[in-house]
Amino acid sequence: MAVIKPVDYGAFFDTVSPAIETHPANYTEEVKSAFLQAIYDRGNLSSPAINDSEFLLWLRVRLRPLLVDLSPSLVTPLLDIGKNRSCNSSQEIITLLDTLHLTLTNNTKREIFKITLLFLQGPTPLKCYTGRSLYIYLKDTFLSFGFPDLSTFKSLLPATRESELLSTINAAELNQLLNQPNMIDNNSDICVLFNNYNSSGET
């Protein structure tokens, strides 16, 4: 990779990535990780010079075979690319990883959940949220990688918007939310949730 110029990465991976997908046994995790690290270091996929359409080509065609059996240490730089791109592009990364979840270790899945949560928490909390049901938005964001427990869910709500955001969740969705595995970890949090939920006018 040291002798390949970044400007030639597209053409290089247009050849290599399909070969990896066709003959995955010929490429070890170490080799795929080295390819990914080179892309992270020199591919400049966060650059505005690469538009969303080109980025999605990178993601779905060139990167996809390299993300099978993704190492936990390579999750953060991948999701960091999404931070500097459109909301659609950042969610496409999670969506693609979700299609590969059967190849991922539990440690990798936990890392994906953790970095996704950090993305939602700031510096602009819920910056990609567009006003629909907050519960459905979070389900669609995390996909198969988990769901925040109640205290973490509450931490995603800016104090001045708690009632507003909770009012987007209907009663059936609230029931689903509270029945998520290991959801209720602190009884005081559920009191805060219901106090704000009631103030939204829901019954």
Res. 151 pLDDT band, cuts 50 70 90? confident
Task: Tell me: pLDDT of 32 over 90.
Answer: yes
Mean pLDDT within 8-29: 96
| Average pLDDT score over the chain | 90
pTM metric for this prediction? 0.89
The domain ranges of the chain are 1-121, 124-203
93, 100 contact by CB (below 8 A): no
Find all residues with CB under 8 Å of 151, minimum gap 6, and list them.
185, 186, 189
Residue 186: its pLDDT value, please? 66
